[in-house]
Amino acid sequence: MKEVTISELERRFQEKIDNDIKIEPKDWMPEEYRQTLIRQISQHAHSEIVGMLPEGNWITRAPNLRRKAVLLAKVQDEAGHGLYLYSAVETLGADREATIDDLHTGKAKYSSIFNYPTTSWADMGTIGWLVDGAAIMNQVPICRCSYGPYARAMVRVCKEESFHQRQGFEIISLLAQGTPEQKAMAQDSLNRFWWPSLMMFGPNDAESKHTAQSMKWKIKRSTNDELRQLFIDVTVPQAEMIGLTIPDKDLKFNEETGHYESGPINWDEFWEVVKGNGPCNKERVDARKKAKDEGAWVREAAMAYAEKRKERSAIRA
Amino acid sequence: MSNKEWPLWEVFIRSKQGLNHKHVGSLRASDAQMAVDNARDVYTRRSEGVSIWVVESNSVFASEPTDADSLFEPANSKAYRHPMFYDVPDGISHM
Ligand SMILES: [Fe+2]
Ligand SMILES: [Fe+2]
């Protein structure tokens, strides 16, 4: 085989991407592309897993058996999403347990939305409607991401998300049509989750330092602001339809552009939460650490059992 | 006590009778039975399968992308393997 220079490999790599040829695990890729994907996919995986906590909080208190079964199924789906994504990270040569340890030490982040508490049943509705809704907006373009395993994981995830959003919207719209107390509960939930949901799309494009390179590599297919606008445009009419008010006094529809214009986002709050100072950051990471530490003996016992059985069948053979 | 990480397994699902098992992803499990059980729980939640294969990932021997030219190029230059390469006179049917 003849020697090929790095710049030639990089040129061929970019050419593949430009021609929409997917990159697969064993293909040559620039180290920075690999590291960007490891960071992004593992943080995405952490978000799925940490995201189970605010909803898990309500499983035992769901108002009836159907709601309980649905919420349980939804939270189980999120565990599966985490699994698909951790598996995709492993195809890049990253150590799964090391990425999880990065979450526990605070080195790796996860979606800031999950650092807000779920204080009422209406929050189960709002999370499905807005948080899964925003996740869909974010994830659909990733189905066309240049890295094959990530794109395929996203296709699986997106197939499951629409159930998540619909079950949430059903909860919130029923509450909004209910008694004055139920409607107030729905509105209060929307008031608390609206702005953090908009922050889920990440900083404004001008502040987002990775966007340009990620777009060139087709890891990212739309910018944060484009996706946020899309989300606002589809969600505002849904809120109006069920009689809830978006908590933004500056919100107005621009007839000329056909888009909603919204008030300023409190980015100081966003960065505080990202830095670890949100209402539930510590609680969330502590819960994950506890799960790993207290589950250690189970993982060890299962492995010891498997090894013992293997030895026994080797002796018999 | 063992501190070893659970091995990685590749999961293949037959979506219905008559079709091949198809690779769908991977997972970690301490043994083959647990791998099948976990695959059932995550990869067939919405009736996606009727049969599951699991194979330990390190048992898969894969071709190298850098060998792709020498492996697959020869097929590209043999267009005569395709039926379109042949002239069938007008009036001939069922061929
Ligand atoms: Fe998810
Ligand atoms: Fe979801």
**What residue ranges define each of the domains in chain B, with the CATH number in brackets?**
3-85 (3.10.20.520)
pLDDT at residue number B4: 77
pLDDT at residue number A155: 96
Chain B CB within 8 Å of residue A76 CB: yes
Q: Cα(A121) to centroid of ligand 2, in Å?
A: 17
- H or E element, residue A137: helix A132-139
Cα distance between residue A5 and residue A11, in whole Å: 10
Residue closest to A25 by CA, chosen among A82, A108, A79, A94: A94
Cα distance between residue B62 and residue A7, in whole Å: 27
**Using an 8 Å Cβ cutoff, are A272 and A278 in contact?**
yes
Q: Cα(B90) to centroid of ligand 2, in Å?
A: 58
CB within 8 Å: B25 and A303: no
Residue closest to A27 by CA, chosen among B34, B50, B21, B62: B62
Nearest 5°: the CA angle B15, B20, B21 is: 65
Model's pTM, two decimal places? 0.94
DSSP labels for B18-70? TS-EEEEEEEE-SSHHHHHHHHHHHH-TTS--SEEEEEEGGG-----GGGHHH
Beta strands in A85-193 (DSSP E): none
Chain B CB within 8 Å of residue A309 CB: yes
Q: Which residue of A has its CA nearest to B28?
A: A87
Phi-psi region of A258 (alpha: psi -120 to 50; beta: other; left: phi over 0): left
Q: Which residues numbered 3-62 in B keep a CB inside 8 Å of some CB on A?
A: 3-6, 8, 24-28, 30-31, 34, 41-42, 45-46, 62
pLDDT at residue number B1: 43
Beta strands in chain A (DSSP E): 252-254, 259-261
> 10-residue block means of pLDDT along chain B (95 residues)?
80 98 97 97 95 97 93 89 92 92
Residues of chain A with pLDDT below 70 are 1-2
Cα distance between residue B53 and residue A208, in whole Å: 43
**Using an 8 Å Cβ cutoff, are A41 and A88 in contact?**
yes
Q: Cα(B17) to centroid of ligand 2, in Å?
A: 30
